A and B are shown apart, each in its own frame.
Chain A
Amino acid sequence: MKHSTFFWFVLPSAILMLAFIALPIVSIVTQSLYTSHEQVLVTVENCGPFGCTEVTSVDQDATQALKAAEPLGKWAGLDVYKDRNHLAVAEVASAWVNADGLPDFGRTLMNLPFYAALAFTLTYTFIVTPLTIVLGFFIAVAVNAVAKALKGPTIFLTLLPFIVTPLVGSLIIFWMVDARGILGTGLQWLADDPTLSVKASTPLMWIMLMFYGIWHSAPFAFVVFYAGLQTVNTDSLEAAMIDGANRWERIRYVVIPHLFPLVTFVALIQLMDNFRVFEPIVSFSAYAHANSLSIAIFNDLGGETRLLSSAAATSVLTIIGVAILLSPVLVRTYRDFSNPR
């Protein structure tokens, strides 16, 4: 295809992605280097019959004027990154010096908002992703064995948790595990503890969030593996059987190697999606127990005072995290392209 034709064909997409994805990334990097203006203070001397008092007040007009003149705020360099809500350099250094062994250091870190959010995000990502793949694989194997007439309805029901809006799906689960809901009451009965409440316990909340994550994305893994199973070569399966392979060995040495490229694909998509875990924490209103990087940004942006610089700094750190997660895949894609098989 000629260069100029290519250019005109991709132009609309390119403009959209440049303006609304590439430029905002530049914009958050810039924004994170600034911090909001301090309010302009004026000191006025009030003199009355009993002497003079000095009153300090906020000069609203001057503050507004300053904000209008420099909407980005004032230059802060890397200060926003180093403050307590982000990398907390000073706090970490002092904790490192004062800590009583590694566990104590870890506890101090978990009290810093950024590290707590990072810890939850990473735990969530690296627990949910493998379990999703395993569960999806088992569902695919089970559905594959179902009679043909039942396959349609089975797949329909299986897809539901994945298709339904994450905020809605997690709300439904949340209502059920509420202390007054059916699952919550069931749990209380099982544990024989009428005060048990998922909302009040951090470990239970983490488990519920991860349970939701697996429930939501297992159908995706299922569909991919199911499609893969349709293309397993029955001849190789029969050959393996003639060679004396039992059922498990056939799965282990024929089916799993066939599905392996799909595992990397599912893992890649799941890593990207789980790293941005956001909606379940909102609907579980789990802010007190679990925070993810996305939630940290969301909280900074919401509310009366929009902490744009703080949100921007967390965003930049999140994107760096995504880049690190993705780097093996990117390198592999690049290699595949450079030496096509």
Chain B
Amino acid sequence: MSNKATAQPLSIKFLTSSFLVFWLVLAAFPFMWTLWGSFKVEGDFFSKADWANALFGGMTQAETGGSFTNDGYYGAWVQEEFWRSALNSLIVCFCVVTISLTCGTLGGYALSRSTHRYAFWFLLFALIFRATPPITLVSGYLLPFFEWNLWGHLSTTIIVLVAINQPFTLWMLHAFFKNIPKDLDESAMVDGCNRFQAFRHVIIPVMWPGVITTGLFSFLLAYNDFAVTTMLLSKENQTMVPKLASFLGTTQTKGNVMFAVAAVVSITAPLFVMVMVFQRQIVSGLTAGAVKG
């Protein structure tokens, strides 16, 4: 890449690298800071008296005898039963990803292969639905869900999240299937397969990269959602994010902010691992819609 058109003089190199370092600190430091602080007591996490306490844990040493403490995690996971929410999150994410991918691959495949005008309208409506804020839909769900006793269950929330996810999944898989040559399934059909058999035997084996990418984003949507889960789940069925929000209401008064801090770290950790493992897929997924149009 060292040709003349892209070469940079030293001054510009210095400028871009210092800007980049500044941005990286801005992006990563808050997470490191919170991770470090989550093993301290509240007096150190919010250290008004001496900021060095936050680093070396002066109050933590005074209160617990060590520089690090697991009290926040113990309080959140055991005392406040955060493990239950973690389990609920796991169930919700797994079901949402599986169901939305099943429906999405079928729909996205059909949309990419149909040349009729209604396929376009279908996608246009999906785009409009994608733009609708979920919280506005929630106000439409509440009354019927109360009337029919559907409110509060994990299964209801899963279906709702799948539906909210569908427009995005369809767009993404549609763009992805467009890149799989038509000749592939058409030749299978010439050989006597019907459409579904062609899909089953020819398309499914080659579709996994796109499906994995789309699945990651479905997972993120389900995992990160707050508007739907907080309004539609009863207290004992709460997933991690609404549970964290409920900590803010109850524990801040009890002086147990550290429960919330521990919960924040617990929610973030799996996402860190996910980005580390799937970085390439995430990057390609974010750009799929843009670069291919």
Contacts and interface: CB of A to CB of B under 8 A. Distances in A.
Interface stretch (B63-71, B74-82, B275-283): B275-283
B34 A172 contact: yes
For A13, A141, A311, which residue has the most chain B Cβ atoms within 10 angstroms? A13
A113 B62 CA distance: 48
B116 interface: yes
Contact of A312 (B122, B139, B271): B139
B23 interface: yes
Interface string B1-21: 001111010001100110110
B170 A238 contact: no
B241 A167 contact: yes
B246 to A, nearest CB: 12
A71 to B, nearest CB: 6
Contacts of A159: 275, 279, 282-283
B264 to A, nearest CB: 5
Nearest to B252: A285
A207 interface: no
A213 interface: no
B195 A20 contact: no
Given A163-B220, A175-B34, A294 B135 contact: yes
Contacts of B124: 330, 333-334
Given A9-B110, A265-B290, A161 B143 contact: no
Interface in A289-325: 293-294, 297-298, 300-302, 306, 308, 311-312, 314-316, 318-319, 322-323, 325
B291 interface: yes
A6 interface: yes
Interface string B257-277: 100110010011001101110
B163 interface: yes
Interface in A179-206: 179-182, 185
Contacts of A158: 23-24, 27
Contact of A318 (B114, B133, B159, B286): B133
Contacts of B287: 223-224, 227-228
B71 to A, nearest CB: 17
A223 B286 contact: yes
A157 B24 contact: yes
A17 B159 contact: no
A337 interface: yes
Contacts of A80: none
A168 B143 contact: no
B256 to A, nearest CB: 14
B51 interface: yes
Given A142-B20, A276-B133, A283-B248, A27 B128 contact: no
Contacts of B6: 234, 237
Interface stretch (A49-57, A87-95, A100-108, A148-156): A148-156
Given A165-B267, A315-B140, A16 B163 contact: yes
For B12, B104, B244, B275, which residue has the most chain A Cβ atoms within 10 angstroms? B275
A120 interface: no
B166 interface: yes
A20 B159 contact: yes
B279 A238 contact: no
A44 interface: no
Interface string B29-57: 01101100000000001111001001000
B184 interface: no
Given A160-B27, A171-B260, A180-B48, A6 B139 contact: no
B222 to A, nearest CB: 11
B137 interface: yes
Interface string A220-258: 100110111001001001101100000100100000000
A16 B224 contact: no
Contacts of A143: 20
A330 B226 contact: no
A166 interface: yes
A12 B110 contact: no
B176 interface: no
B129 interface: yes
Nearest to A16: B163
Contact of B244 (A167, A180, A185): A167
A71 B147 contact: yes
Contacts of B162: 16
17 contacts: A1-B114, A12-B107, A24-B137, A24-B140, A27-B140, A164-B31, A164-B268, A180-B48, A185-B51, A228-B290, A234-B6, A247-B12, A285-B248, A294-B135, A312-B140, A315-B137, A330-B124
- 4 smallest beta-carbon distances between A and B, as pairs: A24-B140, A20-B163, A9-B110, A180-B46
Interface of B: 3-6, 8, 12-13, 16-17, 19-20, 23-24, 26-28, 30-31, 33-34, 45-48, 51, 54, 102-104, 106-107, 109-111, 113-116, 119-120, 122, 124-144, 147, 159-160, 162-164, 166-167, 170, 195-196, 220, 223-224, 226-227, 231, 241, 244-245, 248, 257, 260-261, 264, 267-268, 271-272, 274-276, 279, 282-283, 286-287, 289-291, 293
Given A173-B30, A215-B26, 16 more contacts: A1-B116, A9-B106, A13-B170, A16-B103, A16-B166, A26-B140, A142-B19, A154-B20, A155-B279, A157-B28, A165-B224, A165-B241, A168-B244, A238-B5, A297-B138, A330-B127
